[in-house]
Amino acid sequence: MTPETAVFVEKTPLERYVAPAKPSLLGLSRAELADALADIGVPPAQRKMRVQQLWHWIYFRGFTEFDAMTSMGKDLRAALAERFTLARPEVVAEQVSVDGTRKWLLRLPGETQGERPHEVECVYIPDTERGTLCVSSQVGCTLTCSFCHTGTQRLVRNLTAGEIAGQVMVARDRLGDWPGGVRPTDGVVPSGDNRCVTNIVMMGMGEPLYNLDAVRDALLIVSDGEGIGISKRRITLSTSGVVPNIERAGAEIGCMLAISLHAVRDELRNELVPLNRKYPIAELLEACRNYPGVSNARRITFEYVMLKGVNDSIEEAKALVRLLKGIPAKINLIPFNPWPGSRYECSDWEQIEKFSQVVFDAGYASPVRTPRGRDIFAACGQLKSATEKLTARERMALRAMAMTD
Ligand code: SAH
Ligand code: SF4
């Protein structure tokens, strides 16, 4: 399957896009919901109860219309519907990979009136017992890691808390993952009564620690036990190393942390992850040692993308193990996912196995995950909005890849 085989859910041409007229309540904290209720004249004594009711309908049941919220009076439902919506990011296209991975292309309003809408992607990776949702935090990324497709995208805007939590809600909508929902029949979902979305990784487009407030607000909603209720131990935030915000992520969110390390020497990391020039490896690892809540039971994941002839020697594997000594760590070796025009190649499988053996012998169980969703460009680092026009070189490379796949 190639990206051209996307199933378009909705075919409104972009130029006819109309941004939502009413604000969505998605992403508001309980206190902000109480303010919204005050705006429509709900008396102070009732607000707490009404917030609880709304929270249950929105985040536990997944309702999209106020009118169906039967525990609230007709007048209140009408007043809510007049001023607000429960709109999620708009789904433009859904692609299902041969391995069951699903990718949704989502359309978001531009920041200013009249500005073109933006697009982000959200990817669902099912397994037998669990399902992981890869969520985006920004349109594009201000950073320019040399192996990452998202880094080549020019447009950047931060997503709001509602747009981030909304990705989880879109996934649950499309997967029939709310109470009483009906599962899709095309493709793989976890077995039996297991919920479809059990884990969240902030590993989609963007650098979550450059949008920390919104990411925090969204993750606190998603992990709230009276709503979607995904445990913070099943939520992982991945950062390329924004050192000053690492401590805050631990203290204010309390989720699991992943670090995109990718190199053991500053010289090489400067090239692969240019943010390293600002926050070099030693500072990054110091922030990891001090990450609130880190322990052997709550290890930090170090991601290491396998680039042929660049960072994949046995010496580097040994240096990696030495570097992480004393930090409760897991190592996640990621085979490089090529994208049109990328200048790297994935390490040979034999080399990945040798590298992995060194890491394993040092006591790190390091499963090398088979890349998922490659056929629909849903794998790590392949995400880039479709509205970002492809260059001629990219188009040619895309065609060549489609032919050799
Ligand atoms: N900005 C954050 C999170 C998004 S990127 C970060 O960099 O951590 C999610 C993961 O995908 C990161 O570990 C990133 O380094 C990795 N990645 C990016 N491009 C990739 C590619 N082409 N192949 C494999 N992994 C890639
Ligand atoms: Fe941005 Fe992460 Fe890609 Fe780097 S790897 S460009 S930080 S999304």
Domains and CATH numbers, the chain: 30-83 (1.10.150), 90-402 (3.20.20.70)
* Mean pLDDT in residue range 258-285: 97
| Ligand 1 centroid, distance to 148 Cα (angstroms) | 6
Select the more confidently predicted residue: 192 or 25. 25
Does the structure show a pLDDT above 60 at 365?
yes
* Catalytic residue status for 255: no
End-to-end CA distance of the chain: 9
The ligand minimizing its distance to the Cα of 305 is: 1
* Mean pLDDT in residue range 128-141: 92
Does the structure show a pLDDT above 80 at 158?
yes
Confidence band for 367, pLDDT divided at 50, 70 and 90: low
Q: pTM of the predicted model, to two decimals?
A: 0.89
Closest protein CA for atom 4 of ligand 2: 145
Confidence band for 403, pLDDT divided at 50, 70 and 90: very low
CB within 8 Å of 206: residues ≥ 6 apart: 136, 137, 138, 139, 140, 141, 150, 156, 158, 159
Both tokens of 390, joined, read 């492809």
Res 154: pLDDT: 79
Catalytic-labelled residue, pool 90, 119, 121, 316? 121
Select the more confidently predicted residue: 383 or 293. 293
Catalytic-labelled residue, pool 119, 148, 380, 394? 380
Res 378: pLDDT: 64
Does the structure show a pLDDT above 80 at 115?
no
Contacts made by residues 185-188, CB under 8 angstroms, sequence distance 24+ = 186/96, 187/96, 187/97, 187/100, 187/102, 187/126, 188/99, 188/100, 188/126
Select the more confidently predicted residue: 1 or 160. 160
Segment 65-89, tens digit of pLDDT: 999 999 999 999 999 999 999 999 9
Q: Over pLDDT 70: what percentage of the chain? A: 84
Res 9: pLDDT: 45
| Ligand 2 centroid, distance to 246 Cα (angstroms) | 16
Both tokens of 377, joined, read 């460009």
* Catalytic residue status for 121: yes
CA distance linking residue 105 with residue 89, whole number of Å? 9
Res 12: pLDDT: 44
Res 379: pLDDT: 63
Res 222: pLDDT: 98
Select the more confidently predicted residue: 1 or 391. 391
* Mean pLDDT in residue range 381-403: 50
Confidence band for 14, pLDDT divided at 50, 70 and 90: very low
Closest protein CA for atom 8 of ligand 1: 239
Average pLDDT score over the chain: 87
Q: Ligand 2 — pocket residues by CB below 6 A? A: 141, 143-145, 148, 150-151, 206-207, 240, 260
Segment 225-241, tens digit of pLDDT: 999 999 999 999 999 99
Confidence band for 211, pLDDT divided at 50, 70 and 90: very high
CB within 8 Å of 320: residues ≥ 6 apart: 261, 264, 302, 304, 331, 359
Res 148: pLDDT: 94
Res 390: pLDDT: 47
* Mean pLDDT in residue range 136-165: 91
Res 374: pLDDT: 65
Q: Over pLDDT 90: what percentage of the chain? A: 71
